[in-house]
Structure 1
Amino acid sequence: MSAVARTLPAPVRTENDLGLGLLRQPGTVLFGPGQRRQVAAIVAGLGPRTLVVTDARMSESEPFREIVDGIEAAGVAVEVYAETEPDLPRENIVDVVSRFGGAQLDSIVGIGGGSCLDLAKVVAVVLAHDTDVRDFYGQFLVPGPGVPVVTVPTTGGTGAEVTCISVVYDSERGMKVGVASPHLQATAAVIDPELTLTCPPGLTAATGADAFSHLIESFTDRAKNPSSAEIAGTLYVGKNVLTDVYCRTGIQLLGTSLERIALRPDDLEARSDTMFAAYCAGMSINTAGTAGVHAIQSPIGALTHTPHGFGVSALLPAVMRFNLPARVPEFAEIGRLLGAADPTRPEIEQAHAGILRIEEILAALGAPLDLKTLGLSPSDFEFVADQALLAVRLTANNPRELTREAILEILERGYADDRSWWSE
């Protein structure tokens, strides 16, 4: 352990003393193989003109054409924007607004991965309020509802189909920023596991790791006991009894489905379990939030240009070990949910078993478990730590205080692939 570790704050456990439960969710969620065929009826019920946003790869696929043809057959005029880029640059939002600002849209349909869904959600409020997306950076700054949105995810990981946040990369600011508001919540989410069957192995691994990280962070988050005013104006109110229900279900599902997908990408049952787990993760992070892993990953992703899911996977071993002293019961329960822990053994041993099983699953999926693999340089550690601390929306959720020294220690251990257990 480096000398830095001696300055780290002691772990302090927080409890949900209020017994609070809070969820935010779409008006309708439709899940199951083949349910994409219901999109047309949902969109037709919203009005005669829609905009479909997607990316170039998805726009050339047969399922995409099938969905668009179905919407048009239902009597709805369809415009298509197929230029969504990864990590949703602000330029995409500006481009959509310039092209379709006067189109009088009745709905917006997002089809694709997280960036496509985030684009649909954020464009819906920007168009409705005729403003620049920068006016909405932050939380609860959107003044009212947007154009109704239908989300159709094609990856099993981000949970963006049910979250009320869109993450935007602002190149002029050199960072990712969030637009967070209940007004970004989709009117309907249609989750069809068949759409993930052609997902490339690398994308499957990255999004699967992302879903796992969402569940782990939500379940081990800080409990905050918010006031009524905080509940009314804060996105992430902390770990709570309702998000825990979704976390338990999602963790249990990923405990078997991810390894099965790695062996057989065409296993529809495993794809369905993974996509349902990703939905559960989205429901959880919508009010509990992500935490230290996601705060630290953002600047690492900007430096290394590596997929978000691989970045969070590479950080998980060190961050889980850092947080463990403040969340032993939760990690022990994860161990039991994954079938890795003997419930008759001491709780700390069960917690260790849970963390080791998570790493085993991620390794089987082909996701990295150390920072050196991402190409991060030790010379960048201080920059990463400083940038991560700017993400207060995320660091405030971490169950153990994240100081600059703590983040540097996490980076050192993550780079060295140090899997020893933290004493404190």
Structure 2
Amino acid sequence: MDEIFGVMRSPNAIVFGNGQRHALGQIIGRIGTRVLVCTDQRFAASTAMDEILADLKSKGLDCLVFDGTQAELPLSSIEECVKFCEGFNPDVIAGIGGGSCMDMAKLVSLLLTHGGPMDRFYGEFKVPGPVIPVVAVPTTSGTGSEVTPVAVLADHARDLKVGVSSPYLIPHTAVCDAELTLTCPPGLTALSGADALTHAVEALTAISHPRTPELSQQRVFVGKNLFSDQHALAAIRAIFKYLPRAIEDGSDANARSMLMYGAVSAGMAFGVAGTAAAHAIQYPVGALTHTAHGLGVATLLPYVMAYNAPACLHELMAMGDAIGVTHGTSEQIVLETIELTRDLCARIGIPRTLAGLKLPEDKLDWVAEQSMLSARLINNNPRKLDVEGVREIVQNAFYGTH
């Protein structure tokens, strides 16, 4: 039997529930008095933002709002925000919006605390110490950035997106109010939920590293463990049940809340366990097709599960149990679990193949080779991967063979 081992890293507090955004003034007021709010133009123009700012100001907080966050978070946007708040000297940074807004808050906090250039922090454990406290408020149920130690950005000096991973980047507090997702359109709800599902499945099936005392001190992402498994299974249960409901009826408050619970749980899972092949392959696929991250990882997910199945039968059986697949041999349960995952993705509008993402057929080898550059993700995969193995996944995902 595998020895029992667990790592759990999380915000100081996670405040979850409808209406909890109205506690922001009290929460932030206990941390500091000068608040930089990082958001995007859409949310900045909303009634909800007006209410939040009024609440912050009523608590005597000095607020500065940066609403220039862009999707996929280009480095130039982060540098623009740092310049924008020159002289303001915030002692709290609030990221309010989707994953890019929360990642913006994390990375601006990093640069304001430790200075640039940003590329000196790329990778794991490169952040030298604590940063300005971040309060994260998600308005989509997807990335899990509100609870994770990673922020992703697009550096145009590089072909693929890059990440900064450090426990210091975990937000001080996450305020998760599903009422903020009620206006999230069906397409974005689907992509965000599919991203969260992929986080959960890849965390559940991640490699199990040797449980040395150095593991948690030398790796941000330690592989699957006691705690990440529980968070991953909770996420899988919630997302399978409530994602279709939230897409079909965006006003279903219970579905919205449970979907956000799933996304937060998935973030808690992959924030320590890490992700694997689906994420490694999505980076070059996304770079070529200019398609959303959630769309790419979810298209790949069933093919990655099928490839990895021989190395993680037990975990996929546990996933099957979580979604109600309980009868048959272990192989039958795993096959049905993968098929139900494929069906869920198709039901919410995820293409069945990489060809459906308009990936050029003559770029399959390039995608496989580029995927290998994401060494952390490749090495976190439960079944050992070389370029031939990645090529097999990519070809299956392109042609729809499995």
TM-score w.r.t. length of structure 2: 0.98
Q: Which residue of 2 aligns with 1:351?
A: 334
Give the gaps of 5 or more residues in structure 1.
Answer: 1-14
Q: Which amino acid is 2:367 matched to?
A: V
Percent identical among aligned pairs is: 41
Asked whether the 8 Å contact 1:333–1:351 carries over to 2, the reply is no
Tell me the secondary structure at the aligned position of residue 353 of structure 2.
coil
Asked whether the 8 Å contact 2:66–2:84 carries over to 1, the reply is no
Q: Distance in 2 between matches of 1:242 and 1:206?
A: 26
Q: Select between 251-260 and 277-286 the one with higher mean Cα deviation.
A: 251-260
Q: Distance in 2 between matches of 1:333 and 1:254?
A: 15
Q: Distance in 2 between matches of 1:411 and 1:318?
A: 8
Q: Which amino acid is 1:155 matched to?
A: T
1:231 aligns with 2:234: no
Q: Which residue of 2 aligns with 1:38?
A: 23
Give the gaps of 5 or more residues in structure 2.
Answer: none
Count of aligned pairs: 402
Q: Which amino acid is 1:36 matched to?
A: R
Displacement of 1:278 after TM fit? 0.3
Asked whether the 8 Å contact 1:313–1:369 carries over to 2, the reply is no
Asked whether the 8 Å contact 1:20–1:225 carries over to 2, the reply is no
Q: Which amino acid is 1:373 matched to?
A: G
Tell me the secondary structure at the aligned position of residue 51 of structure 1.
strand
Q: Which amino acid is 2:399 matched to?
A: A
Q: Which residue of 1 aligns with 2:385?
A: 402
Tell me the secondary structure at the aligned position of residue 37 of structure 1.
helix
Tell me the secondary structure at the aligned position of residue 89 of structure 2.
coil
Asked whether the 8 Å contact 1:316–1:369 carries over to 2, the reply is no
1:383 aligns with 2:340: no
Q: Which residue of 1 aligns with 2:137?
A: 152
Q: Distance in 2 between matches of 1:60 and 1:162?
A: 26
1:264 aligns with 2:249: yes
Displacement of 1:174 after TM fit? 2.1
Asked whether the 8 Å contact 2:148–2:267 carries over to 1, the reply is yes
1:105 aligns with 2:112: no
Listed one character per residue, the Cα deviations across residues 185-212 of structure 1 (whole Å, up to 9, x for unaligned) are 1110000011111001111110010000
Displacement of 1:88 after TM fit? 1.1
1:137-286 matches, cutoff 5 A: 137-286=122-271
Q: Which residue of 2 aligns with 1:412?
A: 395
1:22-61 matches, cutoff 5 A: 22-61=7-46
Q: Which residue of 2 aligns with 1:342?
A: 326
Q: Distance in 1 between matches of 2:163 and 2:358?
A: 26
Q: Which amino acid is 1:261 matched to?
A: A
Listed one character per residue, the Cα deviations across residues 284-335 of structure 1 (whole Å, up to 9, x for unaligned) are 0111001000000011111101011110111112111100111112112211
Root mean square deviation of aligned Cα: 1.2
Q: Distance in 2 between matches of 1:19 and 1:60?
A: 49
Q: Distance in 2 between matches of 1:285 and 1:308?
A: 16
Q: Which amino acid is 1:212 matched to?
A: L
Q: Distance in 2 between matches of 1:18 and 1:176?
A: 36
Displacement of 1:18 after TM fit? 3.3
1:67-86 matches, cutoff 5 A: 67-86=52-71
Q: Distance in 2 between matches of 1:373 and 1:265?
A: 26
TM-score w.r.t. length of structure 1: 0.93
The runs of 4+ residues in structure 1 deviating greater than 4 Å are none
